[in-house]
Structure 1
Amino acid sequence: MLTDVIRGIDYSDCAELALILFCFAFGLMFLATTRLSRNATDRFAAIPLSDAVETPRNEE
């Protein structure tokens, strides 16, 4: 009975669902990065250049 269920599953929809989920996640990340302030982006960009351990999200 379980083998009949496994054989009956159509996996072609999984690829389309994965593409939709990827596009949704990409869109959310794009919106999140475009909403960052100029100060935050400058602080994120300076992380690899500094020797000090910093948390760039703490705005002072």
Structure 2
Amino acid sequence: MQADLDALCEHAGVTGASAYIRAPAGIRTAVSAVADTKTEAPMPHRPTLRTASNTKT
């Protein structure tokens, strides 16, 4: 998983990526690249992800 995230950031131009997988075997997380391109702060190992939708009435 880590190698896939690293490749995504390196070859696809993604500035930062994180992955979280929860399965019966356990939880796996990985991060790659930077969270902020101006400060080059690294991606946190437990990033906060906020989701929302503006398509509901």
Q: Which has the higher strand share?
A: 2
Higher RCO (Cα < 8 Å, 6 or more apart): 2
Which TM-score applies when normalising by structure 1?
0.20
Give the number of the structure whose alpha-carbon radius of gyration is greater. 1
Q: Which has the higher helix share?
A: 1
Which TM-score applies when normalising by structure 2?
0.21
